C-alpha cells in the first residue's frame, strides 16, 4: 500500500497531498526557522519531486537567503498565516513541508538536527538524532 502524506494550513484554504517519500526529515535550529516558527526550531519533511506534490489553494510567498546563501521561497496561507511549505531556488525540484502542517504529524520521523550552532539551551532535541552545526552536504 502506498503511503500518502496530506496536510495544509490551519483554516483549510491550502491543502497538499503526495504519495512520494521524503528524502530528508529534520529539525532546523537556524535563526530563520526560529523566527518563522516562533520557537527554537522548525521541523520539515523534504521531498525530492515537487511535481508529485498536489497543492490546492493560493499561497502567499516571501523570499529569503538561507544561511548557505541560497534563496528559499516560503509559502504561507494569506488567510490564517500558517507556514505550509518552502521551495529552493537552487533546487527547484525540491519542496519541504512544515511537519506540523501534516494531517497526521506522527508521520514525521526526524533523522537529524541541523544548524545546532544556533541552538538555544532550552530547545532540547532527541540526543539520538544526528546533529550538524550547519546543513550537511551530499
Nearest 5°: CA angle at 6, between 68 and 87? 20
Indicate the pLDDT class of residue 137, thresholds 50, 70 and 90: low
Average pLDDT, the chain: 92
Look at residue 121 and tell me whether its pLDDT is greater than 60.
Answer: yes
Q: What is the CATH number of domain 7-126?
A: 2.170.150.70
Domain layout of the chain by residue ranges: 7-126
CA 23 to chain centre: 12
User: Per residue in 53-101, pLDDT tens?
Assistant: 999 999 999 998 876 778 999 999 999 999 999 999 999 999 999 999 9
Look at residue 138 and tell me whether its pLDDT is greater than 70.
Answer: no
Instruction: Compute CA distances 36 → 28, 49, 93, 111, whole Å.
Output: 11, 24, 23, 21
User: Per residue in 18-60, pLDDT tens?
Assistant: 999 999 999 999 888 898 888 999 999 999 999 899 999 999 9
Nearest 5°: CA angle at 128, between 113 and 46? 35
Amino acid at each position: 500500500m502506498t503511503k500518502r502524506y496530506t496536510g495544509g494550513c490551519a483554516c483549510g484554504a491550502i491543502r497538499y497531498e503526495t504519495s512520494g517519500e521524503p528524502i530528508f526529515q529534520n529539525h532546523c535550529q537556524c535563526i530563520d526557522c526560529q523566527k518563522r516558527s516562533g520557537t527554537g526550531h522548525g521541523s520539515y519533511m523534504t521531498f525530492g519531486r515537487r511535481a508529485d506534490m498536489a497543492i490546492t489553494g493560493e499561497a502567499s510567498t516571501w523570499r529569503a537567503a538561507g544561511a548557505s546563501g541560497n534563496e528559499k521561497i516560503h509559502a504561507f496561507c494569506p488567510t490564517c498565516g500558517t507556514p505550509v511549505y518552502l521551495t529552493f531556488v537552487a533546487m527547484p525540484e525540491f519542496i519541504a513541508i512544515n511537519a506540523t502542517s501534516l494531517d497526521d504529524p506522527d508521520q514525521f520521523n526526524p533523522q537529524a538536527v541541523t544548524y545546532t550552532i544556533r541552538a538555544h539551551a532550552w530547545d532540547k532535541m532527541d540526543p539520538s538524532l544526528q546533529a550538524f552545526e550547519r546543513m550537511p552536504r551530499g
